[in-house]
Amino acid sequence: MCLWLACCAASAGAGAFDWQAMPSGRWVNVPTRGVAAPKVFHGGAAIAPDRGEVFFFGSDTHEPAPPERGESNALWRLSLSTLRWQQDYPQDPKTAYRILADGQCVTSSGRPWAMHTFDAVEYDPEARRVVVISFPEHTRFAPDARFPMFRGDWYTRLKPAHWEYDPDRRLWQRLDTGPPNLFAQALTWDPLGRQLIGHDGRYTYHFERGARRWSAREAPSDGAGWSRTIVYDTYARAALLFGKNGGDNTLYTYRPGDPRWRRVEVRGTTLPAEGAAIAYDSRNHVMVYLANRGKDPYYNESGAAVTFVYDSPTQTWQRLTIDSPPLYGMNYLMQYDPVRNVVLHFERDEDSADRLRVWAFRYR
């Protein structure tokens, strides 16, 4: 049925795709329209369920690379109603990049630089903004070749920034909020506390929008490290932290006000994670984890993957015996849409020319 549904949708066109007819317990390839966003290995994404859109922002800024993946600061979106891709504005040329006196990075058009974003992209449904807490720290790689317009040790002075994107006006705004350094760390929206929560292994950060300030709390989890991901568990009313560099399958939970992240005593086991492709299904109270089946959770050349589900009420991992979509290592793009009750996975495949394709999974 999964194959039949995917073929029918593709032949009928993306606009004819029937979300309600999707079967449960299977991954379904969802056809889309237009030129898809490029696959960015260290880029991030955020879903806006109230708008029916998913936003994509971030670049792989290690060395000279194809512009759209290497130094692009363009923002892409996918409409879940029309299944059409859209690039909101042309990427700024590097000649437009500016470094302010306080180390903040901007372009002459008032946008953020191209940057690694990892899990530091989130949507604030109350402000109706896409939030990015990051900065282009990896400009230190091959700086002379990539940024000949700057001189000296300029890349050591760059500071984290708090950017917010208005999807209606298609404008970025940089806020003076004292943001934490969440580079290669994690950020999530807490619907109960109506706040953004960030974490770096040692400290936990809360954004108080009324005061327009970030506050740091000594609420550690596993100490130093990076490549973490966070989702919010609506059953436990707590954030869930999963995976880190080197590969880890420990699950931590955090309730605002608690002095630390606590290890979850789970039943069952799962594959190690780094930059884990996870999303929390708030209707069924499960976290879906698409895991790399290769030896290295950071980079999986084979693309082979397996699907796990963490059931929050019973604190149990289950490995599903189903066909899983491709996964080439770390992936910070997976989202859950509560309107359509589907987990959405975004990844390239062998025939997509490094552009994203979309798979959906309905637990039940």
Rounded Cα gap, residues 295 and 312, in angstroms: 27
Q: Which residue has the tokens 């066109």?
A: 13
- Above 60 in pLDDT, residue 31? yes
**Distance set, CA 182 to CA 186, 261, 339, 347 (Å):** 6, 17, 29, 24
For 252-293, the pLDDT digits (tens) are 999 988 889 999 999 999 999 999 999 999 999 999 999 999
Cα-only R_g, the chain: 20
- Is the separation of the CB atoms in 356 and 16 below 8 Å? no
Indicate if the alpha-carbon torsion angle 298, 349, 336, 191 is positive or negative: positive
- Above 90 in pLDDT, residue 35? yes
For 62-105, the pLDDT digits (tens) are 766 677 778 899 999 999 999 999 999 999 999 999 999 999 99
What is the arithmetic mean of pLDDT over 43-72?
89
Among residues 57, 119, 134, 125, the alpha carbon closest in space to that of 91 is found at 57
> pLDDT at position 3, please?
42
Confidence of residue 5 (pLDDT cuts 50, 70, 90): very low
Average pLDDT value for the chain: 93
- Is the separation of the CB atoms in 135 and 159 below 8 Å? yes
**Taking the mean position of all CA atoms in its chain, how far away is CA 130?**
12
> pLDDT at position 24, please?
98
Confidence of residue 14 (pLDDT cuts 50, 70, 90): low
Sequential DSSP letters for 226-241? ---EEEEETTTTEEEE
Rounded Cα gap, residues 4 and 188, in angstroms: 36
> pLDDT at position 15, please?
54
> pLDDT at position 145, please?
85
- Is the separation of the CB atoms in 246 and 295 below 8 Å? no
The amino acid at 31: P
The domains found in the chain, sorted by start residue, are 2-361 (2.120.10.80)
Contacts of 154 (CB under 8 A, 6+ apart): 99, 143, 147
For 174-225, the pLDDT digits (tens) are 999 999 999 999 999 999 999 999 999 999 999 999 999 999 999 999 999 9
Among residues 270, 241, 277, the alpha carbon closest in space to that of 361 is found at 277
| DSSP reduced 3-state for 247 | coil
Rounded Cα gap, residues 247 and 362, in angstroms: 27
> pLDDT at position 321, please?
98
- Above 60 in pLDDT, residue 229? yes
> pLDDT at position 66, please?
72
Question: CB neighbours (10 Å) of residue 121?
Answer: 24
Contacts of 63 (CB under 8 A, 6+ apart): 70, 141, 142, 145, 146
Return the DSSP state at 35: P
> pLDDT at position 303, please?
96
> pLDDT at position 124, please?
98
User: Number of C-alpha atoms within 13 angstroms, CB side, residue 211?
Assistant: 9
For 312-333, the pLDDT digits (tens) are 999 999 999 999 999 999 999 9
For 103-152, the pLDDT digits (tens) are 999 999 999 999 999 999 999 999 999 999 999 999 999 898 889 999 99
Question: CB neighbours (10 Å) of residue 285?
Answer: 17
**Taking the mean position of all CA atoms in its chain, how far away is CA 2?**
26
